[in-house]
Amino acid sequence: MLDHKNLHMSNPFREDLVARSRPESCTVVIFGATGDLTHRKLVPAIYNLKLDGELPPDVKIIGFARREKSDEEFREGLEELNKQVSRGGHDETLWTDFAPSISYHQSTFTDIEGYQSLAKTLDKIDEERGGKGNRLFYVASAPEFFDDILENLKKAGLNESAEGCWSRVIVEKPFGTDLPTAQHLNQVVNETFEEKDTYRIDHYLGKETAQNIMVLRFANSIFEPLWNNRYIEQVQITCAEHLGMEGGRGGYYDKSGALRDMVQNHLLQLLSLVAMEPPTDLSADGVRDEKVKVIRSLRQYDTPELVRENVVRGQYTEGFVGGQKVAGYREEDRVNPESQTEAYVALKIQIDTWRWSGVPFFMRVGKRLPKKATEISIHFKEAPNVLFNALPGATPGGNVLVIRIQPDEGISLRMVSKLPGTSLRLEPVKMDFHYATSFGKGSPEAYERLLLDAMAGDATLFARRDEVEEAWKFVDHIENAWHKSENPPEMAEFEAGSWGPKEADELLGDYKWRRL
């Protein structure tokens, strides 16, 4: 059994983080507090931090939203959901202790008086806390209100902090819908908060295994020498979801599509962690400087022909997922029956750097695929086939390193071995590491880690302005080819519950998508 505690402490990355970041007491104000995110993710995350003894003392939560609600009603709704979703379970005694720290502030997002009265409430809390006035504003409303919220925070002076205290803002996705809207939002944010106090959240960066990519690469000496185009043949990133447009999600999704919803943010972030150069240090900017270089080096698909060659978009038709019959994308609730929005996208990405020149990165993401699974697989080149090529049966194939982001977080390495027996036969085998069994405990939810980091002033796992904008540049070319060109690349179809359209298989040429 691994000694989990000591392993952490002897890990140089961890030590640095521990030394650098101490979460501080604060008041968290959540805009859009009646929404799903607050109920399913944010408050359960804060509750679980408390459960694990990681929450700084005296953290207060204020939910800010339009609907009429008393504190009591707000807390009851949160408790209801916490019972269903809390990672560590729901403890009545702990909740009774936790609930009084939550209150509700009713106001529209456009009404400046709502912010002025919020300021008074915050001052009162600070007084009770002995003058310590740290504030964390979490903008989790519908995106059309982001500007109003930021501007009103500024008008009410809430972007300023008292001597020795801080005011920070976390901005939820979607961070714009294209480059101009992202630039506009960045401008509004930067007029209100300094970049160092701005936390653009991408919850994939908070996932345990995503964080482990850097550790795997840079705290082990055996991978990095091979981590380049001399030894790596291709890389695949898959993010599959079995769900469709349940719970009215079609309303948002049909305006967004897979490329904007997942690739622009989560998947390009994962890609940049896999492909980045070693940072000079672990500071937020040290890491983000290297990540942004990757995104800047993506080959741009700036003509419809290039998009047709390198990107496949698709929609699912009726089919079966988990034994249940499900509707096709265009028949889904709140989806336009003539929708031209992709619920699946596959890309062949080229990173034009010295390290990666000639190595394709294949990426696929979609709804209504057979199961929920996110993984990155690094496919190494085959060993020179001079010794074993005369053996009967299949060629041994290359090594494959798989980083399972979720579920069953872990890492496996495919190797070739001799099959036991009197004759010489080769078989692939797997070395497999599972977080849950190796460390004896599950991973925290992404939002737990990220909220704690924001309370500690550590922006390493949040997207910087230039990362977001560079990612939009790449995505916008593809969106333009699909929606603004005269000869747009076709929309492929696949049966719900299958692994995507045949065009996505063809995109890989001689390679094959890894079977998950």
Residue nearest to ligand BG6 (CB): 261
Nearer to ligand BG6, 135 or 173 (CB): 173
Q: What tokens were used for 54?
A: 């990681």
Strands 373-380 and 324-326: unpaired
Total residues contacting ligand BG6 by CB under 6 A comes to 4
Map the footprint of ligand BG6 across residues 184-213, applying CB under 6 A. 203
Considering the rule CB under 6 A, would residue 241 count as an interface residue with ligand BG6?
Answer: yes
Considering the rule CB under 6 A, would residue 342 count as an interface residue with ligand BG6?
Answer: no
Tell me, yes or no, if 8 is annotated catalytic. Answer: no
Considering the rule CB under 6 A, would residue 467 count as an interface residue with ligand BG6?
Answer: no
Considering the rule CB under 6 A, would residue 469 count as an interface residue with ligand BG6?
Answer: no
Rounded to the nearest whole angstrom, what is the least distance from the CB of residue 403 to ligand BG6 in the complex?
A: 15
How far is the C-alpha of 175 from the C-alpha of 203, rounded, in Å? 13
How far is the C-alpha of 150 from the C-alpha of 48, rounded, in Å? 28
Rounded to the nearest whole angstrom, what is the least distance from the CB of residue 343 to ligand BG6 in the complex?
A: 10
Nearer to ligand BG6, 241 or 332 (CB): 241
Q: Which residues contact 164 (CB under 8 A, 6 or more apart)?
A: none
Nearer to ligand BG6, 261 or 448 (CB): 261
Considering the rule CB under 6 A, would residue 476 count as an interface residue with ligand BG6?
Answer: no
Rounded to the nearest whole angstrom, what is the least distance from the CB of residue 257 to ligand BG6 in the complex?
A: 10
Considering the rule CB under 6 A, would residue 172 count as an interface residue with ligand BG6?
Answer: no
Upper half-sphere CA count for residue 91 (Cβ side, 13 Å): 11
Sheet holding 60-65, edge to edge: 102-106, 60-65, 27-31, 135-139, 167-171, 198-200
How far is the C-alpha of 279 from the C-alpha of 288, rounded, in Å? 8
Per-residue mark of binding to ligand BG6, 487-516 (x: CB under 6 A): ------------------------------
Residue of 266, 434, 477, 483 with catalytic role? 266
Nearer to ligand BG6, 75 or 203 (CB): 203
Considering the rule CB under 6 A, would residue 261 count as an interface residue with ligand BG6?
Answer: yes
Burial class (CB in 10 A: 0-12, 13-18, 19+), 45: buried
How far is the C-alpha of 109 from the C-alpha of 140, rounded, in Å? 12
Burial class (CB in 10 A: 0-12, 13-18, 19+), 183: middle
How far is the C-alpha of 45 from the C-alpha of 119, rounded, in Å? 25
Nearer to ligand BG6, 136 or 259 (CB): 259
Rounded to the nearest whole angstrom, what is the least distance from the CB of residue 346 to ligand BG6 in the complex?
A: 17
The 3-state DSSP class for residue 106 equals strand
Nearer to ligand BG6, 126 or 202 (CB): 202
Enzyme catalytic residues:
266
Q: Which residues bind ligand BG6 (CB under 6 A)?
A: 173, 203, 241, 261
